[in-house]
Structure 1
Amino acid sequence: MTTEDNFWELRLYVAGKTAKSIAALTNLKRYCEEHVPNQYKIEVIDLLVHPQLAEGDQILAIPTLVKKIPEPIRKIIGDLSNEEKVLVGLNIRPATH
Structure 2
Amino acid sequence: MAQNETTKLILYVAGETPKSLAAIANLERICKEDLDNRYEVQVIDLKKEPRLAREHSIVAIPTLVRQLPAPIRKIIGDLSDAEKVLVSLNVKGAQ
- TM above 0.5: yes
Could you tell me which amino acid in structure 2 is paired with residue 49 of structure 1?
Answer: K
Could you tell me which amino acid in structure 1 is paired with residue 27 of structure 2?
Answer: L
Gaps of at least 5 residues in structure 1 are none
- List per-residue Cα deviations over 1:10-32 (Å, max 9, x = no partner): 00000101110011011111111
Q: Which runs of 4+ in 1 moved over 4 A?
A: none
Q: Percent identity?
A: 54
Offset, 1:56 = 2.4
Task: Say which SS state the counterpart of residue 8 (structure 2) adopts.
Answer: strand
Q: TM-score, normalised by structure 2?
A: 0.90
Alignment of structure 1 residues 2-81 onto 2, 5 Å:
3=4, 6-81=5-80
Offset, 1:37 = 2.3
Gaps of at least 5 residues in structure 2 are none
Could you tell me which amino acid in structure 1 is paired with residue 41 of structure 2?
Answer: I
Q: TM-score, normalised by structure 1?
A: 0.88
Task: Say which SS state the counterpart of residue 20 (structure 2) adopts.
Answer: helix
Q: Please name the residue that 1:93 is paired with.
A: 92
Across the two proteins, how many residue pairs are aligned to each other? 93
> 1:93 and 1:66 mapped to 2: Cα distance?
15
> 2:92 and 2:51 mapped to 1: Cα distance?
33
> 2:63 and 2:87 mapped to 1: Cα distance?
15
Task: Say which SS state the counterpart of residue 92 (structure 2) adopts.
Answer: coil
> 1:49 and 1:21 mapped to 2: Cα distance?
14
> 1:82 and 1:33 mapped to 2: Cα distance?
15
**RMSD of aligned Cα (Å):** 1.4
Task: Say which SS state the counterpart of residue 15 (structure 2) adopts.
Answer: coil
